[in-house]
Chains A and B, each alone.
Chain A
Amino acid sequence: VIDGDADVRRAVADAHRREWAFVLAATARVAGDLDLAEECVQDAYLAALDAWTRQGVPNNPGAWLTTTARRRALDALRRAGTLRAKLPLLVEPETSSFDGDADEAIPDDRLRLIFTCCHPALALEAQVALTLRLVCGLTTTEIAGAFLVSETTMAARVTRAKKKISAARIAYRVPEPAELPDRLLAVLVVLHLLFTTGHSAPAGDRLVRSDLVARSIGLARMLLTLMPDEREVRGLLALLVLTDARHATRVDDTGRLVLLADQDRSRWNHAAIAEGDRLVRDALRGGRPGRFAVQAAIAALHAQAPSYADTDWHQVLGLYDILATLWSSPVVELNRTVALSMVAGPAVALARVDELAEDPRLAGYRYLPATRADLLRQLGRYNEAVQEYRTALTLAENATERRFLTDRLAELAE
């Protein structure tokens, strides 16, 4: 019996990880309200623990949970006597009434949920928080921990965003084809931000917050299943998989940051690199590529190179030139200077970095002085390099990055 309980708990936890988005998305359609939907879904997962212990785990746990949650939502609406009255969320009401039949095909509303969470009328940080909360089913405490803000702050952020969805009538629907490119880009930006927050934490002690990395890759996989023809979704997944393939070598045993040039490439995840490579090839096929496909192509070149020096830097630089035409961003320009220094030398790259330093959008960006410092060091201009490392140190909040910069300063002092 005790083993049975453990099996049930595992089955419920599994269903939480795999089915949460599906269950919540389908329940929100009936509830017409995100808060009510969340409550009912949480209740359904609790009910599952008991019911599955008594009756066994159902063949389709997602369908069981959805049916249970939707019934609860309908009951709550009936009790309140406001069936479908309070429906600011779902603008096109469901035509067929839901009768709670478990065999009835449940529509997959996950895309509606994702596009609602990533609506551009919400602040980016709210989009990120809502996606983790509603699509991944994380608690406010977990999200607050991942973003190193207080639970109160995160709870207020989520509440405010949900209120806006309801009061401003952000529709619970997938965007029209005409709006889709912009709206999909917004979703991809949220997933990418989740990944980079996990991969290179802007503050805190650990460089990789693997939970966020795993969640963002999982979300990208889910999105690709739902939109298999969108090449940029494939491009984003490729980029995340390829970048993550190098995660084991980014810090050494003592927690020190290891630069790409010094990483032990035999320890990279070669299965992930092969998968990323396949994805990026498909993402580049069929017309003008998008920005994520091109970023993924750059990551693929790094992943395949036998060493830093033997990387195809000309092709990397060429891809950065293409990327700059697709995505005007000073950060892209700054990353391009690294390839430029490998192709044309540090002096040429430094001149370009100095031009970029004029861009107000890069003011306070910690990688600008760090890049400048490295080029100055290569040119033997050590005093200036020391100044730049110090500036970078005042901007870096991540302990691992701070240690790297401190080590570099110590080397230059010798």
Chain B
Amino acid sequence: MAEYLILIYEEEKGYADGTPELFAEVMAAHNRFAEQVVEQGGQIVTGRALQPSATATSIRNDVVTDGPFVETKENFGGYYLIEAKDLDHALALSKLCPARFGGVEVRPIMDMSGG
């Protein structure tokens, strides 16, 4: 098994305008995702949602500025660290990850154990 990070990028507006029903639906979708990962032979190591990008602070050469590091239409809003057999397995699991206002990026974690 190898580790992959699923980075969730979505348009934040979708959630800013969201109703309580929407949030309940999204929560349920994420809970279902967690079950599906295990059903399909994967593992979620950890996963968190972030506060919106308006709360982000960037630092470059010790200069502190308001806002995310890169301005994009779809913002980095949460992640899952998963374990999967190979890239095909990781992609199959990532396709199940909820991201209704955007999409996800899948990145292999660098193996620092040497070899």
- Chain A interface residues toward B at CB < 8 A: 82, 85-86, 88, 91, 119, 121, 167-171, 175, 179
Contact = CB atoms under 8 A, between A and B. Distances in A.
Nearest to B110: A167
A88 B2 CA distance: 9
Interface in B6-41: none
Query: Top 8 A-B pairs ranked by shortest CB distance?
Result: A171-B86, A169-B86, A168-B108, A168-B87, A91-B86, A170-B87, A85-B115, A169-B87
B40 to A, nearest CB: 12
Given A167-B110, A168-B108, A169-B108, A121 B115 contact: no
16 contacts: A86-B115, A88-B2, A91-B85, A91-B86, A119-B87, A121-B87, A121-B91, A167-B110, A168-B87, A168-B108, A169-B2, A169-B87, A169-B90, A171-B85, A171-B86, A175-B88
A86 B2 CA distance: 13
Interface in B58-115: 85-88, 90-91, 108, 110, 115
Nearest to B92: A179
A100 to B, nearest CB: 24
A33 B86 CA distance: 15
Nearest to B109: A167
B105 to A, nearest CB: 12
B71 to A, nearest CB: 25
A179 B90 CA distance: 14
Nearest to B4: A168
B88 A82 contact: no
Given A169-B86, A169-B87, A170-B87, 16 more contacts: A86-B115, A88-B2, A91-B85, A119-B87, A167-B108, A167-B110, A168-B87, A168-B108, A169-B90, A169-B108, A170-B86, A171-B86, A171-B87, A171-B88, A175-B88, A179-B88
